Chain A
């Protein structure tokens, strides 16, 4: 089980060595990245097979908690830790030359840091991995080398760095209050944390880590960066990195900050995010920004889901998050050649029937048409919101319904344009590249598989949620390590 640390160490090693390897032999440079990711996937699968009991805590460096840093391995962490190398491999930049090497290094660093975010059980360690993901993404956001890209990346950097300062203040407040940074240890210190200062610390951490989770109010960077960067990078950021930022927030909510005010804050911010995201997507005139705002809306739904208490909340959040993890990258890949004005897409479906069909499939799932997985995810979400009973949560359920209607409008409007007759004298955009179409088809197949195996998938999600929603197994596995070690 200690080998799971390789999921972080191997991509880091590959990133450091890649520039040298590429200089030695070009084929070596091509192979290092994907080979490392495949090895990382294998390590993750082995760890899942070897997992006994609800959770295992690994003491890094052999130093027992709370003195040392720990990795906490439960199924929730494993799901996301495995999603990282898989998604990175699917969205790998198969580029060449010196710039391609740098791009690949940055992508590997992103993969390593995201795996660390999924597994880490220490507050400052989470901050460090979060910063690594941030710096790697600042670099990747400029990968189209346009002036707009540099400006958008700069604004992203300033907003994210501001969030990081706020998060660091939050970490300082937690350390002032408790003197420890280990999440399991913090879970046992609720007396020190359940006061207004603890809540303030949670809010600071929420704002800090919420930048990558595209949370309101620190998501102003999203439309510009997703429009200016290449679609692959946008897919990585929107699909993968945002989920891990949400996972970090959820861990803190479930394990450390168990006050009801914390959940309410998450619900309110999520709701505002949904409203602003979906309405802005409805008004967007180009595909890339429409998808960006839609992403903000969907992540608002994820945050709302996780604000529901108990297993229902974690199950709903996990379902919506995993669904978005599959659909959003696919939509961004389809937007590779279709990323321009939506009006210009008239008739594109005739030039690329596969692409249009895939777009319709993903749109249907995003809106939540049965029997697609998106329907089940939204069903869990609405059920959870209604189950809470208070007026705030019921209002949230209403917002979700309104957002669904708006979503359906702008997605089907676009789909209709795809199949319409092209304007006389104009040419619709060409079909997407085979790589993009192939990956999108693969993701579509995953979605359809989700339809077929919806029952075992649902049972699995419930099982994972039951363990994750309870701080008791989290603390118990850390204690077991201290006593046994």
Chain B
């Protein structure tokens, strides 16, 4: 009975939503804010990637909130899962797996950092690059069951990077502007050193996300056991 009611509710919801979206003209959005950003964005922010201009400039506080959410999830995950569990000393993964993982580590790191640093020029940015950096640390962990990441270094990088993001924002406030107002020279449009503080902000984001996700994934992968004293 409950299933029937739920099924009816789902069908009703689908019908309602399809009806609603049937009215929308696909491909012709009102473009109120989008038009404005396209017109003044390149001059005001100086980033070639307009999405980054929105993410770190116009909607910078949303990105700070997003960072905090990831931090909250990692902290809550650590809180829920308890202290570091005993690492399992299981079977060794094969030679191919271990060597492959070790080879991937520097490659992934380079790709990740590249994406982070060029976030204001090409598609990508702190979050995407940060996830790749996290993977760089996590893949060797998968290939070596029994190894553990040093969570203290990860926590250090995470905390300092997050504080750096907010500190840059507060610095803007201190200089008489608003919180998270971009400053520093806008530089040559399209070059690596451009768009003021945006590359720095994305670097902080990338390092924080990388350290955070690596720690979270490692903790999820650590097998259940006696909780370490």
Contacts and interface: CB of A to CB of B under 8 A. Distances in A.
B65 interface: yes
Contacts of A9: 64, 166, 169-170, 179
Contacts of A192: 30
Interface stretch (B72-80, B112-120, B129-137): B72-80
A59 B57 CA distance: 12
Interface in A105-128: 105-106, 109, 112-113, 116, 124-125, 128
Interface of B is mostly: helix
Interface stretch (A11-19, A229-237, A286-294, A406-414): A11-19
Given A60-B61, A66-B36, A105-B75, A16 B162 contact: yes
Given A63-B58, A109-B72, 4 more contacts: A13-B167, A63-B44, A106-B72, A135-B69
Contacts of A128: 62, 65-66, 69
A128 B60 CA distance: 12
A200 B179 contact: no
A67 B37 contact: yes
B20 interface: yes
A103 B30 contact: no
Query: Which 10 A-B pairs have CB atoms at the shortest separation, nearest pair first?
Result: A139-B76, A179-B30, A16-B162, A179-B32, A128-B65, A62-B181, A5-B179, A135-B72, A20-B159, A102-B79
User: Interface residues of A toward B: which range?
Assistant: 35 or more
B208 to A, nearest CB: 9
Contacts of A59: 178
A98 B69 contact: no
Interface string A1-36: 011011011001101110110010000000000000
Interface string B142-166: 0000000000100110111011001
Contacts of A109: 68, 71-72, 75
A197 B23 contact: yes
Contacts of A62: 177-178, 181-182
Given A102-B78, A173-B20, A69 B159 contact: no
B79 A139 contact: yes
B4 interface: no
A483 to B, nearest CB: 16
A13 B163 contact: yes
Contacts of B181: 61-62
Given A106-B72, A106-B75, A142-B80, A125 B179 contact: no
B209 interface: no
Interface string B166-185: 11011011000111111000
Q: Which of A19, A124, A129 has the most chain B CB atoms inside 10 A of its CB?
A: A19
B219 to A, nearest CB: 12
Given A2-B173, A106-B72, A179-B31, A61 B20 contact: no
B59 interface: yes
B159 A169 contact: no
Interface in B70-115: 71-73, 75-80, 83
11 contacts: A2-B179, A13-B163, A61-B57, A62-B177, A68-B57, A135-B73, A139-B75, A179-B32, A180-B30, A181-B33, A200-B20
B225 interface: no
A150 B80 contact: yes
A131 B32 contact: no
Given A16-B159, A142-B79, A5 B178 contact: yes
Interface string A50-92: 0000000011111100111100000000000000000000000
A109 B65 CA distance: 10
B34 interface: yes
Nearest to A178: B30
A263 interface: no
A199 to B, nearest CB: 10
A112 B61 CA distance: 12
A17 B75 contact: no
B40 interface: yes
A176 B159 contact: no
A398 to B, nearest CB: 29
Nearest to B84: A98
Residue in A60, A61, A106 with the greatest tally of chain B CB atoms within 10 Å: A61
Contact of B69 (A16, A102, A131, A197): A131
Given A178-B32, A197-B23, A17 B73 contact: no
Contacts of B158: 16
Contacts of A180: 30, 32-33
A341 B162 CA distance: 45
Contacts of A19: 155, 159
Given A5-B173, A20-B155, A98-B83, A61 B178 contact: yes
A138 interface: yes
Nearest to B63: A128
A69 B34 contact: no
